Amino acid sequence: MSPTGKIKAVLVEDEAAAMAALQSYIQKFCPQVQICGTAQNSREAISVLHEIQPELVFLDVEMPFGNAFDVLDACQDLQFETIFVTAFSEYSLKALNQSAAYYLLKPVSIEELILAVTKVQQQLQQQRLFNRNQIIVANARETKPEKQQVILPTLDGFDVVKMEEIVRLKGNGNFTDVFLADGRKKMVCRFLKHFTEILPHPFLRVHKSHVINIHFVKSYHKGTGGYLTLQDGTEVEVSAAYKDQLLEAFR
């Protein structure tokens, strides 16, 4: 996926007007798709697809220097879903129907575009669920908890990170903000309580709104509860109710 969490897509179309119309429709009616590149012929398409490695390609069937099937033949090392875009052609439609492919007839119908993108999105989500099973198996085989991976459900899908990459978590209403060692922040669709139940040592709840990875603690400052300074300079309040538990962890 793209950094925004959207479906990375490339448009391959040799007619400028058709390209402009398709871009406009996607941007307006398919917000889950991010157009990351375009190409106007098969040679250019092969190069762009290998450079961007998209999840979805809108692929014109007939174009200069070859056709859609030549492009797919040259990109067998890549994995992406394809929505073919074609003017009526008995040959192309027969081939596409036999393969149960997604395709759009020119001029493109907005309703058919939305339907095709929705089907592709569902297919991609199923593939990601399969990856979830791979994560479960990998975690079962990993003996060091900090090396295990955790799935973070977000508004756009989900991210997978190793537990050792998580610095701290902060409750944010119905969500949890997860702060990572590389400076990124993820807003996750789970209550903080969810993570207190699934994250093992070295994660420790120090406040009703804060869970920290004790490996990132730089110093503790006394007080009624006191506060922690983390390695990135962040200060995290410690509530009196969790103070003893925190001090015990460092004994």
User: Taking the domains of the chain in order of start, what are their residue ranges?
Assistant: 7-128, 145-249
**DSSP-derived pairing of the beta strands 7-12 and 203-207:** unpaired
Which strand (E) or helix (H) includes residue 34?
A: strand 33-39
> What's the chain's Rg over C-alpha atoms?
24
Looking at residue 21, its amino acid is A
CATH number of 145-249: 2.40.50.1020
Whether the full predicted model's pTM is greater than 0.85, yes or no, is no
What are 186-230's pLDDT values in tens digits? 999 889 998 988 888 899 999 999 999 999 999 999 988 899 999
Compute the distance between CA of residue 214 and CA of residue 230 in angstroms, rounded to an integer: 9
64-82 mean pLDDT: 89
CB 64 within 8 A of CB 90: no
82-108 mean pLDDT: 77
CATH number of 7-128: 3.40.50.2300
Highest mean pLDDT among 6-20, 68-82, 84-98: 6-20
Those residues with Cβ within 8 angstroms of residue 19's Cβ, 6 or more apart along the chain or in another chain: 11, 13, 38, 40
Q: Is the pLDDT of residue 140 over 80?
A: no
Compute the distance between CA of residue 116 and CA of residue 81 in angstroms, rounded to an integer: 11
Looking at residue 56, its amino acid is L
> Given this chain, do its domains 7-128 and 145-249 carry the same CATH topology?
no
